[in-house]
Amino acid sequence: MDRMLVVIFNNEAKANEGKKALLLLDEERSISVYGYAVVAKNADGTASIIQGDDSGPLGTLAGTSLGSLIGCLFGPVGLAVGASAGFVGGAAADLINAGVGEDFIDDVSKDLLPSSVALVAEIEEDWTAPVDIRMEAIGGIVFRRALSDVKHQVQQENIAAMKADMAQLKAEHAQASADRKAKLDSKINDLDSKIQALFQMANERANEARQTLSRMDADRTNGNGPE
């Protein structure tokens, strides 16, 4: 199952141990690591990316689910990422792209205290014990969320909310005057366009996810996984 993983440590040395343990689990084929970053929350509330996925520059995280999760957790203000600045495109967009619910962000944030360091990763795991045992032995606090579940949940909740608005507008339309009907028609059409756009976005992301997983499977087969 594809998951977003966040492991919080009380210092950088422990976080680096956690990163090594995570990549070792990938080498052992206990899990698959698609990407990771080690991020420090500074005492003044800003954040710094200490390390990124060894397979490419930090800028490659921009626009990804992993980059968006970092944006959700640490925020765009004071995020010291150097040349890769610009991870985030707004909190709502980040939340959808990261594929996590607000409750997950809230749970992680409670333990993400100033001067702590987090290992943030996108992984595939069949069971949780390998990661939990290694990380807890180092002193890490583990949080995870299944990507497929939350991405569908976020999209479904947005669409459900829009459909409720649509129903309300149509109910008003049935009892409105001619002038009011014209204004409501415009609002209904606009809302319908947004709902269709969400459906299209969901389909596009599903296709992209399938293509990405196919490429990753091919890379692992050819021995090009994370080192």
Lookup: tokens for 72: 């959700």
What value does the mean pLDDT of the chain take?
76
- Whether the per-residue pLDDT at 9 is higher than 90: the answer is yes
Pairwise CA distance, residues 227 & 121, whole Å: 14
- Whether the per-residue pLDDT at 164 is higher than 70: the answer is yes
* DSSP run (H or E) holding 49: strand 47-52
- Whether the per-residue pLDDT at 119 is higher than 90: the answer is yes
Three-state SS string across 173-213, please? HHHCCHHHHHHHHHHHHHHHHHHHHHHHHHHHHHHHHHHHH
Which pLDDT score, from 0 to 100, does residue 193 have?
Answer: 86
Predicted TM-score (pTM) above 0.85: no
DSSP letters spanning 135-156 = HHHHTPEEEEEEHHHHHHHHHH
User: What is the mean pLDDT of the segment spanning 105-120?
Assistant: 89
Which range (3-12, 206-215, 217-226) has the least confidence?
A: 217-226
Which pLDDT score, from 0 to 100, does residue 216 have?
Answer: 64
DSSP 226: -
Which pLDDT score, from 0 to 100, does residue 55 have?
Answer: 42
Q: Name the pLDDT band for 53 (thresholds 50, 70, 90).
A: low
**Residue with more model confidence, 12 or 44:** 12
- Whether the per-residue pLDDT at 219 is higher than 70: the answer is no
DSSP 18: H
Q: Name the pLDDT band for 157 (thresholds 50, 70, 90).
A: low
Which pLDDT score, from 0 to 100, does residue 162 have?
Answer: 72
For 137, counting Cβ atoms within 10 Å of its Cβ (0-12 exposed, 13-18 middle, 19+ buried), the class is: exposed
- Whether the per-residue pLDDT at 28 is higher than 90: the answer is yes
Q: Name the pLDDT band for 4 (thresholds 50, 70, 90).
A: confident
Yes or no: say if 39 and 133 are a contact pair by the CB < 8 Å rule: no
- Whether the per-residue pLDDT at 202 is higher than 80: the answer is no
